[in-house]
Amino acid sequence: MTSDLPQPRTAIVRRLVLCRPWMFRVLAVAIASTIALILAEIALRLFVSDTRSPYIYDEFTGTRLRPKQRFVFRSEGYSSNVINSRGLRDREQSLEKPAGTFRIAILGDSFSEAFQVSQDKTFWAVLERELQAMPEYRDQTVEVINFGVSGFGTIQEWQMLEHYARDYSPDLVLLAFLPGNDVRNNSRQLESDHRRPYARLHDGELQLDVSFQDDPMEKRFRELTWSACKDQAIRRSRVVHLIYRALEDWRARKANAASFGAEEGGIDNAVFAPPMNAEWTEAWQITDRVLDAIQRDSEAMGAKFVVVILNNSVEVHPDPEVTASLAVKLGVSDLEEPQRQLIASGDRYGFPVIRLLQRMRDIARRDKVCFHGFSNASPCAGHWNELGHETAGKLIAKDLSELLKVIP
């Protein structure tokens, strides 16, 4: 009976001996993988820029750019970026306006943020240079400060003015309005993102809706915990950085490819037709009243207010058939409904509206050029390329210089 006692231990030892080669192989793979990851981490920290999301939560606008972040944008076009200490895609600017300075605050979305091109190629950089070169500004310094953030609607731009841009004491507030999504962005019914401020009309009065600040704590905890964990992983590991950026670039390329020849990603073509239902009617009504609020707030801080209407690629495509085919699909004679709506708002409330559409469309068709699109994304679609920004910046500067002579 005693001879039977050691048998279980002997069996265990025998199994360990048999498993030892397999265990050594697993251990060797684990050690080699760890060493490879460490070496990759070191190399990426030396050669790859910060790839955290450039956006952070903001209690007033829902989201903002992350201050002091450096990163490379390459999913559509290319730019190497440094967000300034106050969360703007711009150079550092003092809050106090220097004597003899004429300041312009740009409110806008991704077309103003303009990660697709280098900062000195953006329309607002071109605008600053063009104005500064004009004789009437010879004795002044022109500063154009960019407050544009991707995804912003007019309501978020209003809040950006109220809580951030006003601190810079602008002389002029220039709102860059993109018809393709700005109207939709202002509607809780039409917009899928509810983590942003909205507005509503109650008994004819415009009321700001900041209920996104009061999400149920459990939901907020889940969202922020996941966001925080993801951000921590991306921030602490450059390997995770690289994987995350590759996935983001792949998603962007997929979206761009899917949008080619169809409705562009992020753009709602319904805006080019008269309001088709109660939701679109309300979205335009809210947009109209928010523009009035921005004008009144601009005037209250001593600034003039001007709207410039930007364009989507289908509106200024060098091939007239592309524009005409969408008009036929929508059952309209042209795609200029947003122009008419915004001009009516300007007439109603007394602010000037700069229109780029006709001139940029004429240039595109005369010279057979695309103002939108990049070689690493969709051709002739998406955001403005360098030519689009340069052309728009020069046209805006020309119109502004004339308007500023007559605006009281």
Over range 126-139, report the average pLDDT: 97
Q: How far apart are the first and last CA of the chain?
A: 111
Predicted confidence at residue 397, as pLDDT, reads 99
**Residue 169, by phi and psi: left (phi above 0), alpha (psi -120 to 50) or beta?**
left
Give me the residues paired with residue 207 across strands.
Answer: 200
Over range 225-231, report the average pLDDT: 52
- Which of the four pLDDT bands, split at 50, 70 and 90, describes residue 193? confident
- Which of the four pLDDT bands, split at 50, 70 and 90, describes residue 358? very high
- Which of the four pLDDT bands, split at 50, 70 and 90, describes residue 264? low
Asked if residue 4 has pLDDT above 60, the reply is no
Over range 187-211, report the average pLDDT: 93
| Residue of higher predicted confidence among 140 and 220 | 140
Token pair 């009504």 in the structure block, residue: 285
Q: Do residues 107 and 160 make contact, with C-beta atoms less than 8 angstroms apart?
A: yes
Closest C-alpha to 117, from 91, 89, 142, 143: 89
| Residue of higher predicted confidence among 311 and 252 | 311
Alpha-carbon 271 to chain mean position: 19
What number of CA atoms fall less than 13 Å from residue 64's CA on the CB side? Answer: 24
**Lowest mean pLDDT segment, chosen from 94-98, 189-193, 280-284:** 189-193
Asked if residue 294 has pLDDT above 90, the reply is yes
Predicted confidence at residue 233, as pLDDT, reads 60
Asked if residue 350 has pLDDT above 60, the reply is yes
Predicted confidence at residue 255, as pLDDT, reads 44
| Residue of higher predicted confidence among 305 and 42 | 305
The amino acid at 207:
Q
Over range 222-245, report the average pLDDT: 54
- Phi and psi at 87, nearest 5°, equal 80, 35
The tens digit of pLDDT for each residue in 276-288 reads: 899 999 999 999 9
Mean predicted lDDT score pLDDT of the chain: 86
pLDDT above 90: percentage of residues in the chain: 70
List the structure tokens of 47.
Answer: 């050669």
Q: Alpha-carbon distance 345 to 352, whole Å?
A: 10
Over range 121-147, report the average pLDDT: 98
Over range 379-384, report the average pLDDT: 95
Asked if residue 254 has pLDDT above 70, the reply is no
pTM (predicted TM-score): 0.82
C-alpha distances out from residue 352 to 66, 199, 229, Å = 33, 23, 46
| Residue of higher predicted confidence among 48 and 110 | 110
Query: CB neighbours of 308 closer than 8 A, spacing ≥ 6?
Result: 174, 175, 176, 177, 353, 354, 356, 396, 399
Predicted confidence at residue 35, as pLDDT, reads 75
Over range 207-220, report the average pLDDT: 75
Query: CB neighbours of 165 closer than 8 A, spacing ≥ 6?
Result: 105, 107, 145, 147, 173
Predicted confidence at residue 19, as pLDDT, reads 63
Q: Do residues 46 and 55 make contact, with C-beta atoms less than 8 angstroms apart?
A: no
Asked if residue 241 has pLDDT above 60, the reply is no
